[in-house]
Structure 1
Amino acid sequence: MSSHEPIKALIPREMLGRGMGRRAFLGGAGALGLTAFLAACSGNSSAGSNSGGGAGSKTLNMYSWAGYNDPAVIEDFTARSGISITVDSYGSNPELAAKLNAARGTSGYDICVPTHSYVKQLAEQGLIQELDHSRLPNLANLDPGVSDTTFDPGSKYSVCKAWGSTGFVYDTTVIQRELTSWADFLDAAQNEASGSVSIMEDQKECMFIYMFANGLPPNTTDEAHLEAYREYFLSNVAPHVQAFASATNASVANNERALIHCWNGDARLGIMSNADPERYKWVWPSEGANIWQDNYSIVEGAQNLDAAYEFINDQLDPEVSLKELSYLGYNTGVAGVEDAAIGAGVERPEMIFIDAERMKKLKYSEITEVDQFIISTFDEIRAAAGQA
């Protein structure tokens, strides 16, 4: 990889196009599916050797989601540290896992950015290495809620980069009643918004709508719950859906659909870009929702360890964190960033920050033994869409 330019983004060709949100690629997180992930991890599961190299390196190679760092922050870091950063991008967590597994410590990457549900698997497969917290003094700046999680207790293998949740927006010129819940979302999809609905292109996010609306465990493996979800969506929801899309900010900005399932940050970007910012209303569903967290991890076999630790530690600096939040529109997990953002006049903070009561209702998605059923069900739902 060349170290002559500070930033290089290699974006999968099929992902290019208008309306790509800063977290849009995560919508493809299930595109390769559980089968591909397991295949990627089916090789030797012993950890690769830790090179420990790069003591004086001034290069850093990062494998991440496209557009997921503020270019100005990267440039500032390079100017201060002298470390030149190359960023290559992937379109899904299974793609990340496949690449690292195939390379087995020789990928050339130093940092990757897995979503919460993949951290444990990558660690178990020896694809990311245990972190040396003594080299991350700014780890103390993180809120305990993101640094001591169920998927990686004590941040042993990962450090929070950004986190958010899921809800929906609706066009108030089309839907003139107040919507507050997933149950309302499903009702409006079959009525006022019929034929003008988009659902995220993510199998778990789609399923979570039904599970939360019906008071069921979102990560259920109960066959009866799963079949009820399948039958309901195929019969009652899919015929009214116009599109499956995770890059939603452009459709909100351009008034393209009446009811849009989306992540909070993308909804915020779309509303702020709309000529009439009051036209769409954002809903944190009353029943709860998915919570996701993307994380910095150091790749096994990383050749530029000093640079990797210096970069991650810099990202946890409060001033840098505020810049990243302002760019992404997602919470960075650094303690005090909410007050700093409000003080800095960041627009629509209520769409970035989640209060304690709502937090109690959020659940991390999990990889389970029924994921193949969830994937095949989602494929059926997409095939049945738009037939109302």
Structure 2
Amino acid sequence: MDNVIRAIGDRAFSQRISRRSVLGAMMAAGVGVLTACGRTGEMAANVAPDGQLEDKLNIYTWGDYDDPEVLRAFSDRYDVVLQVDSYGSNEELMAKLGASRGTSGYDIVCPTDLEIPQLVENNLIQKLDMSLIPNFDTIDAAFKSQQHDPNDEYSIIKAWGTTGFVYDVQAISEELTSWEDFIRVAQDQASGATLLLEDPWEVVSIGLAAKGYDLNSSDEGELEEAREIVVEQIAPHVRAYASTVSTPMIQGGFKLLQAFNGDARQGFLEVSDPERWKYVFPTPTANLWTDTWCLATGAPHPDAAHEFINYIIAPEQATVEADYIGYSTGSKVFNDPDIEEQYDYPDLIFPDAEIVDRLTPSMRLGGEQTRVDIFTAAQVRSGS
């Protein structure tokens, strides 16, 4: 079973594509078949007549966002051929599902939490049968009954993370702790060597946070103040916009990089001189995002989909997944403080409670087009 196709080859010899990485091509993971291993006991209505799960499962998710060994183990155990295609943004996912209207052929999709209400409203995802996912009990209560799905009907947490920045401590002579520090140093010691995320919400949030405003603000006056910071103060000093920082950290040429915590951890694991870099969970706030497991409307293999979700959220898989992707999966298993000792750079996977308490969950409250306009103007100002 060696035919799991990775986005850029073997993990030991390549820079992994992050959960936010823009991926144009699809990643087909043709995870092989061994002996039949049908589920016994009560079956859902879509189980094949012989009592086995459907023999295929199609997943549409962020690039390189699951450990191939975990996928292979599921395929081997349940005799299911697994195909994994990847997207680079929630917008790409929404467009695919919206165009197909229930005929995409995908069973499982992995949108970010703020997209759930819109997906439900447009009938692009369907309710989960929670009786087929008993391992939902292993999910920490903090990640249940969230605003995007208050009754836990449509989604289950896949991973959660936040946004901050990495800086080169050899090139920047002061300790950085805030978004105000980020803005100031971008114009000075890191001018021409700053990287911003390829994400309008995240980039505009730098300006909103620095001014002490709600990151979800739809107030045009506040967004205009953020525009001045992003477009006029930061953008002229930005060298690139990207969705992952590990490759830029390795290749060099950058001193200050806006980054997701798990992606930054991957950079620390891959660079030859990790002591040169420091990750900051900046004050006063930053995004708290959650990616989720959902069942696509028209899923052709719903029983296999439920079995997969139940399998991958179990504690045994949750711990492996967290190490591979660099983000906590929301499992109760992580409530044991000793478990952090199993991981490299555990502080990047499991931020302290003091940090989590000041984060802001992203929501759609208006102003989305303004954010896109600000981001576009920033890219033009940067010459990107």
TM-score range, shorter chain: 0.7 to 0.9
The 1-side partners of 2:22 and 2:215 are apart by: 19
User: Could you tell me whether the CA contact under 8 Å between 1:54 and 1:303 is conserved in 2?
Assistant: no
Q: Please state whether the residue corresponding to 1:291 is helix, strand or coil.
A: strand
User: Could you tell me whether the CA contact under 8 Å between 1:110 and 1:299 is conserved in 2?
Assistant: yes
1:318 maps to 315
Is 1:148–2:145 an aligned residue pair? yes
Structure 1 pair 75/254, CA: closer, same or farther in 2 (3 Å)? same
The one-character-per-residue Cα deviations of 1:277-318 (angstroms, maximum 9, x if unpaired) are 110111011211001111110011112111001000001110
Is 1:336–2:329 an aligned residue pair? no
Is 1:182–2:179 an aligned residue pair? yes
Residue of structure 1 aligned with 2:20, choices 2, 8, 24: 24
Residue of structure 2 aligned with 1:235, choices 218, 232, 255: 232
In structure 1, give the amino acid aligned to 2:175.
E
The 2-side partners of 1:143 and 1:152 are apart by: 15
In structure 2, give the amino acid aligned to 1:313.
N
User: Could you tell me whether the CA contact under 8 Å between 1:27 and 1:245 is conserved in 2?
Assistant: no
1:267 maps to 264
TM-score, normalised via structure 1 length: 0.86
Is 1:191–2:184 an aligned residue pair? no
1:1-388 residue pairs with structure 2 within 5 A?
A: 7=4, 19-25=15-21, 53-55=46-48, 56=52, 57-337=54-334, 339=336, 342=339, 345-385=342-382
The 2-side partners of 1:10 and 1:119 are apart by: 26
Instruction: Quote how far apart the aligned CAs of 1:119 are.
Output: 1.1
The 2-side partners of 1:370 and 1:85 are apart by: 39
User: Could you tell me whether the CA contact under 8 Å between 1:53 and 1:302 is conserved in 2?
Assistant: no
**Could you say which structure has the greater relative contact order, defined with CA pairs below 8 angstroms and 6 or more residues apart?**
1
The 1-side partners of 2:16 and 2:253 are apart by: 15
CA RMSD of aligned residues (A): 2.3
* Structure 2, unpaired ranges of 5+: 9-13, 25-43
Structure 1 pair 373/151, CA: closer, same or farther in 2 (3 Å)? same
Q: Please state whether the residue corresponding to 1:121 is helix, strand or coil.
A: helix
State the number of aligned residues.
356
2:31 maps to none
The 2-side partners of 1:137 and 1:193 are apart by: 50
The 2-side partners of 1:124 and 1:10 are apart by: 32
User: Could you tell me whether the CA contact under 8 Å between 2:103 and 2:298 is conserved in 1?
Assistant: yes
TM-score, normalised via structure 2 length: 0.87
2:28 maps to none
Q: Please state whether the residue corresponding to 2:259 is helix, strand or coil.
A: strand
Instruction: Quote how far apart the aligned CAs of 1:8 are.
Output: 5.7
Instruction: Quote how far apart the aligned CAs of 1:369 are.
Output: 3.0
The 2-side partners of 1:329 and 1:341 are apart by: 17
The one-character-per-residue Cα deviations of 1:19-38 (angstroms, maximum 9, x if unpaired) are 4533132699xxxxxxxxxx
Instruction: Quote how far apart the aligned CAs of 1:341 are.
Output: 7.4
Q: Please state whether the residue corresponding to 1:208 is helix, strand or coil.
A: helix
User: Could you tell me whether the CA contact under 8 Å between 1:10 and 1:87 is conserved in 2?
Assistant: no
Instruction: Quote how far apart the aligned CAs of 1:187 are.
Output: 0.9
* Structure 1, unpaired ranges of 5+: 12-17, 29-50
Q: Please state whether the residue corresponding to 2:234 is helix, strand or coil.
A: helix
The 1-side partners of 2:147 and 2:176 are apart by: 32
The 2-side partners of 1:366 and 1:58 are apart by: 37
Structure 1 pair 10/195, CA: closer, same or farther in 2 (3 Å)? closer
Q: Please state whether the residue corresponding to 1:88 is helix, strand or coil.
A: strand
